[in-house]
């Protein structure tokens, strides 16, 4: 073989290697259904990446690839390269993961943005320690309480079996005198149908996803907190991409974060109206119930700081609490 032929062969092999490396197929796992605004946002995120890079991403929705509690581990072990989780569902791992679930600590989208910016670095560090990279985070609409019977006073939930989705909502239920059971979003209709739970806290968006009107009558729009989802990637997989593809993903993520906050605000309006259109009674919680929830929030913030320590105290100061 001539020198030239060898050089040509090497170049060919290298370019084949190069395109094999960039034309990868990835999987992404999310716990939420196709119609949910988070999922719609992810689809746009993926479209933007696929339009600008050879990377191909298959999205597995509605916990079809991995159940929510398995997604972080699943991305660490590269069963999927990308994942979306409800961050606070991992709140037992680290208090930083559940600060967004303390009732009335940072209610509403504006406070939520402040809280995210103040906690982002600490959360990113936790992900890095786990071999993961945070790409973006989007909040759920405000959280409200769904009941079968009217909830005029705080004791209405006494002894009621209550669907929780993380440690914080379980604690909230407990402090309301209810009996919490953790149920994943994808399993809500079944849990109500089989009588495992008869009340819950979640957004109007998840109420619509689970067709709450089939099993509860009342939605009390307390807007107690805007707990967040995080979209993240396996760090090794990400670092294995060429710099240009990495850049495209980072930029698409930044856009998805801003778009997602707006989509969440829009979903809050649309899905709250939808609950009413489907025949549910949508109401503000009574002053007594609000007072009780706010007091519970204060207690939970104290409990949280006791666990989160100096870092937690500094975070609350940073958001003016
Ligand atoms: N939906 C998710 C988390 C918060 C929300 O609005 C759920 O209910 O599991």
Q: Where are the domains of the chain?
A: 24-318
Residue 307: its H or E element: helix 287-318
State which of 33, 185, 186, 191 you would mutate to test the pocket of ligand 1, scoring each by most atoms of that ligand within 8 A of its C-beta: 185
Q: How many whole angstroms from its chain centre is CA 221? A: 19
- Our answer on whether the CB atom of 165 is closer than 6 Å to any ligand 1 atom is yes
- Our answer on whether the CB atom of 39 is closer than 6 Å to any ligand 1 atom is no
Contacts of 63 (CB under 8 A, 6+ apart): 29, 30, 31, 184, 186
Question: From CA 315, how far away is CA 308, in angstroms rounded?
Answer: 10
pLDDT score for 74: 98
DSSP string for 127-190:
HHHTTEEEEEEEEPPPEEEEESS---SGGGGTT-EEEESSHHHHHHHHHTT-EEEE--GGGHHH
Nearest CA owner, ligand 1 atom 4: 202
User: What angle is formed at CA 278 by the lines to CA 275 and CA 283, rounded to 5 degrees?
Assistant: 40
- Contact call for residues 144 and 150 (beta carbons, < 8 A): no
pLDDT score for 23: 81
Closest CA to 36 of 59, 8, 14, 19: 59
> From the CA of 302, how far away is ligand 1's center (Å)?
24
- Our answer on whether the CB atom of 140 is closer than 6 Å to any ligand 1 atom is yes
Block means of pLDDT (10 residues each) for the chain, 321 residues, are 52 49 86 97 98 98 97 98 98 96 97 97 98 98 98 97 97 98 97 98 98 98 97 98 98 98 98 98 97 98 98 97 91
- Ligand 1 nearest atom to the CA of residue 203, by list position: 6
- Our answer on whether the CB atom of 101 is closer than 6 Å to any ligand 1 atom is no
State which of 140, 222, 263, 268 you would mutate to test the pocket of ligand 1, scoring each by most atoms of that ligand within 8 A of its C-beta: 140
Strand, coil or helix: 235? helix
Question: From CA 191, how far away is CA 41, in angstroms rounded?
Answer: 27
pLDDT score for 5: 52
pLDDT score for 4: 55
Q: Could you tell me the pTM of the whole model? A: 0.93
- Ligand 1 nearest atom to the CA of residue 86, by list position: 3
- 246 CB neighbour count, 10 Å cutoff: 16
State which of 86, 87, 102, 141 you would mutate to test the pocket of ligand 1, scoring each by most atoms of that ligand within 8 A of its C-beta: 86
Question: From CA 70, how far away is CA 63, in angstroms rounded?
Answer: 9
- Our answer on whether the CB atom of 185 is closer than 6 Å to any ligand 1 atom is yes
**Which architecture does CATH list for 24-318?**
3-Layer(aba) Sandwich (3.40)
What's the alpha-carbon Rg for the chain, to the nearest Å? 22
The angle, 0 to 180 degrees and rounded to 10, between the axes of the packed helices 243-277 and 108-129 is 140
């Amino acid at each position: 073989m001539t020198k030239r032929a060898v050089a040509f062969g090497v170049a060919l092999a290298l370019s084949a290697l190069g395109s094999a490396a960039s034309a990868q197929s990835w999987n992404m796992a999310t716990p939420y259904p196709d119609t949910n605004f988070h999922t719609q946002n992810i689809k746009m995120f993926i479209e933007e990446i696929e339009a600008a890079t050879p990377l191909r991403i298959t999205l597995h929705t509605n916990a079809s690839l991995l159940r929510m509690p398995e997604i972080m581990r699943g991305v660490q072990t590269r069963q999927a390269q990308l994942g979306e989780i409800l961050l606070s569902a991992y709140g037992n791992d680290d208090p930083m993961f559940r600060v967004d679930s303390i009732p009335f600590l940072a209610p509403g989208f504006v406070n939520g943005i402040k809280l995210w910016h103040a906690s982002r670095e600490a959360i990113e560090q936790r992900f890095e320690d786990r071999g993961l990279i945070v790409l973006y985070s989007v909040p759920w609409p405000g959280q409200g309480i769904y009941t079968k019977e009217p909830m005029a006073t705080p004791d209405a939930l006494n002894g009621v079996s209550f669907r929780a989705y993380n440690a914080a909502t379980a604690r909230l239920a407990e402090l309301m005198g209810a009996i919490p059971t953790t149920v994943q979003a994808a399993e809500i209709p079944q849990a109500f149908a089989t009588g495992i739970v008869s009340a819950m806290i979640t957004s109007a968006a998840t109420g619509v996803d689970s067709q709450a009107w089939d099993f509860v009558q009342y939605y009390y729009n307390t807007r107690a907190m805007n707990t967040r989802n995080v979209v993240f990637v396996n760090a090794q997989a990400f670092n294995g991409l060429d710099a240009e593809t990495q850049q495209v993903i980072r930029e698409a993520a930044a856009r998805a974060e801003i778009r997602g906050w707006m989509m969440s605000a829009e979903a809050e309006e649309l899905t709250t109206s939808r609950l009413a259109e489907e025949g549910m009674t949508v109401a503000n919680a009574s002053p007594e119930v609000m007072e009780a929830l706010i007091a519970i929030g204060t207690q939970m913030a104290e409990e949280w700081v006791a666990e989160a320590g100096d870092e937690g105290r500094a975070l609350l100061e940073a958001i003016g609490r």
